[in-house]
């Protein structure tokens, strides 16, 4: 049965690439991290390539990137960005529209990455298992999976949905000057945090963009990896290889497929 609430929460945030690019323009630490990994490993499969925020810098470093993404607007923005790059960079990036749980490319990579909360759109165990099966199929022998997801923040999960979180007004690339607020509503049964991002322009009606993020706790994700045949080789709490601590707001997992005969 389709869950339209989850479908909207997985797609809507990526339907306005101009705002997405503006919102995360200053997010650079993960770009540096994944680029360094790519330079070390070689060709990369990126699940959730989006507008190329990470893929293009990797290609600029001389590494081939093959990406999969479910958002057509983001992939269109990626193509537009690539047109502004030298031919050599453009040739290193290949993007395919599709579901990372299902797409089969028929080749293997020394590195598979899934950056910036893409895995938080895997809402149940079956989703995670299908994704990890595709990862295993695409990893070369001794290949590595690296992905990052937000650390669940108790204060966000406990917010009153009726009490908005506000930030100062700003210039939206398509709506102009806007006031902005967020409402948080945590579904404790499904472990999904629903965020309503509300833009209030000076003229016209307000716009609400839904976002749905599955909340994975550290030991839960370790168990999902373990029981799907992966060993966690490193777990960091930032993009400088720091440890996961109570203050961490991100979990960076490194994992490798376990030999099928071992447990």
pLDDT in tens, 26-78: 999 999 999 999 999 999 999 999 999 999 999 999 999 999 999 999 999 99
Distance CA 50, CA 14 (A): 8
User: Under a CB-based contact definition with an 8 Å cutoff, are residues 230 and 256 in contact?
Assistant: yes
- Give the residues across from 47 on adjacent strands: 68
Complete edge-to-edge strand list for the sheet that includes strand 93-97: 93-97, 65-69, 44-47, 109-114, 139-150, 250-257, 230-236
Q: Which CATH number fits domain 4-151+216-257: 3.30.43.10, 3.40.50.150, 3.30.70.520, 1.20.120.520?
A: 3.40.50.150
**Is residue 38 helix, strand or coil?**
helix
pLDDT digits (tens, 9 = 90+) for 166-225: 999 999 999 999 999 999 999 999 999 999 999 999 988 999 999 999 999 999 999 999
Extents of the domains making up the chain: 4-151+216-257, 154-214
Give the number of other CB atoms < 10 A from CB of residue 234. 11
pLDDT of residue 1: 52
Distance CA 230, CA 160 (A): 37
| pLDDT of 115 higher than 70 | yes
User: Under a CB-based contact definition with an 8 Å cutoff, are residues 135 and 145 in contact?
Assistant: yes
């Amino acid at each position: 049965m389709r869950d339209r609430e989850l479908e909207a929460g997985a797609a809507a945030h990526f339907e306005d690439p101009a705002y997405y690019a503006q919102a995360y323009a200053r997010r650079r630490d993960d770009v540096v991290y994944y680029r360094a990994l790519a330079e070390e490993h070689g060709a990369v499969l990126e699940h959730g390539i989006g507008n190329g925020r990470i893929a293009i810098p990797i290609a600029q470093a001389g590494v081939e990137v093959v990406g999969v993404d479910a958002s057509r607007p983001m992939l269109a923005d990626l193509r537009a960005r690539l047109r502004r790059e030298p031919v050599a960079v453009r040739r290193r990036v290949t993007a395919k529209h599709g579901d990372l749980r299902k797409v089969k490319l028929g080749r293997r990579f020394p590195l598979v990455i899934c950056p910036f909360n893409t895995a938080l759109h895997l809402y149940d165990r079956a989703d995670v298992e299908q994704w990890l099966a595709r990862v295993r199929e695409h990893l070369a022998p001794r290949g590595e999976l690296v992905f990052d997801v937000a650390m669940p923040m108790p204060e966000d999960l406990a917010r009153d949905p009726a009490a908005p979180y506000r930030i100062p007004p700003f210039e939206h690339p398509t709506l102009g000057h806007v006031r902005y607020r967020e409402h948080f509503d945590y579904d404790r049964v499904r472990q999904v945090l629903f965020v309503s991002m509300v833009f209030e322009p000076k003229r016209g009606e307000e716009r609400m963009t839904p976002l749905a993020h599955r909340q994975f706790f550290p030991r839960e994700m370790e168990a999902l990896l373990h029981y799907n045949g992966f060993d966690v080789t490193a777990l960091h709490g930032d993009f400088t290889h720091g440890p996961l601590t109570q203050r961490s707001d991100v979990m960076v997992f490194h994992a490798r497929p376990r030999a099928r005969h071992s447990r």
